[in-house]
Structure 1
Amino acid sequence: MEYITKFFTVLEDLTWGWSLIPILVIFGVFMTIVTGFVQFQFFGRMFRVLLPKYQHADPNQISARQALLISVGGRVGGGNIAGVAVAITLGGPGAVFWMWAIALVGMATSLVECTLAQVYKRRAADGTFRGGPASYIRHGLGDQYRWLGVVYAVCLIGSFAFGFNAFQGNTIAGAVNDSLGVDRLITGVLLAVITGFIIYGGIKRIAKAADVVVPVMALTYIGIALLIIVMNIGELPRVLGSIFANAFGLEEAVGGGMGAALAQGLRRGLFSNEAGLGSAPNVAATADVHHPVSQGITQALSVFIDTMLVCSATAFVILLGGVYVPGAEGVSGVVLTQQSLVYHLGSWTQYYLTFAVFLFAFSSIMYNYYLGETALVELVESPAAVHILRWLVIGVVLLGASAPGATSVFFFSDPLMGLLALVNLLAILMLFPVAMRVLNDYRSQLKAGNERPEFEASRFADLDLDRKAWK
Structure 2
Amino acid sequence: MIDKIVAAVNNVLWGDGLAFNQQLPVLGNVDFATGPLLIYMLVFCGIWFTWKLRGVQIRHFGHMFSIMKGSTTATTEGISSFQALCTSLSARVGTGNLAGVAVAISLGGAGAVFWMWMIALIGMATGFAESVLGQLYKVKDDNGEFRGGPAYYIKQGLNKTWLAIAFSLCLFLGYGFIFSAVQANTITDALENAYAIPTLYSGLAIIGLAAMIVVGGLRGIARFAELAVPFMGVGYILVALFVTFTNASELPGMIMHIINSAFGLEEAGAGALGAAIKNGIQRGLYSNEAGSGSVPHAAAGAAPNPNHPVSQGYVQMLGVFFDTMILCTCTAFIILLAGKENAAEGMGGIGLTQEALSIHLGASGTDFISAAICLFAFTSVVANYAYGESNLHIFKLDNKPGRLVYTVGYLAMILWGSMAALPTVWAMADMALGLMSVINIIAIVWLTPTIVSVCRDYFTKMDRGERPEYANGDCQIQGKSEKGIW
| TM value normalised by structure 1 | 0.94
Structure 2 runs not aligned, ≥5 long: 16-35
- 1:9 equivalent in alignment to 2:27: no
CA contact (8 A) 1:49 1:55 kept: no
Distance 1:159 1:359, change over 3 A: same
Distance 2:136 2:54 in 1: 20
Distance 2:93 2:63 in 1: 22
CA contact (8 A) 2:77 2:303 kept: no
- Larger displacement relative to structure 2 (214-223 or 454-463): 454-463
1:249-271 per-residue CA deviation (whole Å, 9 max, x = no partner) reads 11257894110011100110000
1:332-391 per-residue CA deviation (whole Å, 9 max, x = no partner) reads 211111111111112112222121111100111111111112223313335323211111
CA contact (8 A) 2:3 2:424 kept: no
Q: Deviation at 1:177?
A: 1.4
Distance 1:253 1:346 in 2: 33
Q: For 1:169-318, what aligned pairs fall within 5 Å after superposition?
A: 169-251=184-266, 256-289=271-304, 290-318=307-335
Distance 2:485 2:252 in 1: 51
Which residue is equivalent to 2:453? 437
CA contact (8 A) 1:253 1:326 kept: no
Distance 1:15 1:294, change over 3 A: same
Distance 1:436 1:315 in 2: 35
Q: For 1:65-214, what aligned pairs fall within 5 Å after superposition?
A: 65-142=82-159, 145-214=160-229
- 1:465 equivalent in alignment to 2:476: no
Distance 1:262 1:303 in 2: 19
1:419-470 per-residue CA deviation (whole Å, 9 max, x = no partner) reads 11110011111111001110000011011111x3101113247641123222
- 1:422 equivalent in alignment to 2:420: no
CA contact (8 A) 1:157 1:376 kept: no
Which residue is equivalent to 2:21? none
Which residue is equivalent to 1:376? 392
Which residue is equivalent to 1:20? 38
CA contact (8 A) 1:93 1:253 kept: no
Distance 2:193 2:11 in 1: 33
CA contact (8 A) 1:165 1:368 kept: yes
Q: For 1:399-414, what aligned pairs fall within 5 Å after superposition?
A: 399-403=416-420, 405-406=421-422, 408-414=424-430
CA contact (8 A) 2:127 2:317 kept: yes
AA aligned opposite 1:220: G
Q: Deviation at 1:57?
A: 5.6
Distance 1:57 1:356 in 2: 29
SS at match of 2:484: helix
Distance 1:28 1:325, change over 3 A: closer
Query: Counting helix residues as a fraction of each chain, which structure ranks higher?
Result: 1
Distance 1:21 1:399 in 2: 31
AA aligned opposite 1:427: A
AA aligned opposite 2:181: A
Distance 1:147 1:274 in 2: 24
Distance 1:364 1:254, change over 3 A: farther
Distance 1:6 1:239 in 2: 42
Distance 1:27 1:466, change over 3 A: same
- 1:41 equivalent in alignment to 2:59: yes
Which residue is equivalent to 1:389? 406
Distance 1:456 1:337 in 2: 49
1:403-426 per-residue CA deviation (whole Å, 9 max, x = no partner) reads 3x1463453110111111110011
Distance 1:237 1:332 in 2: 25
Question: How many residues in Structure 1 have an aligned counterpart in Structure 2?
Answer: 462
Distance 1:408 1:252, change over 3 A: farther
SS at match of 1:465: coil
Distance 1:320 1:431 in 2: 44
Distance 2:382 2:343 in 1: 37
Q: Deviation at 1:147?
A: 0.7
AA aligned opposite 2:279: Q
Distance 1:461 1:426, change over 3 A: closer
Q: CA-atom RMSD, angstroms?
A: 1.7
SS at match of 1:459: coil
Equivalent residue for 2:368, pick from 333, 348, 352:
352
Distance 1:152 1:90 in 2: 32
AA aligned opposite 1:248: F
Q: Deviation at 1:49?
A: 4.5
CA contact (8 A) 1:246 1:253 kept: no
CA contact (8 A) 1:120 1:465 kept: yes
AA aligned opposite 1:430: W
AA aligned opposite 1:333: G
Calculate percent identity across the aligned residue pairs: 41
Which residue is equivalent to 1:342? 358
- 1:329 equivalent in alignment to 2:345: yes
CA contact (8 A) 1:87 1:95 kept: yes
Distance 1:271 1:406, change over 3 A: closer
Distance 1:412 1:249, change over 3 A: same
CA contact (8 A) 1:162 1:393 kept: yes
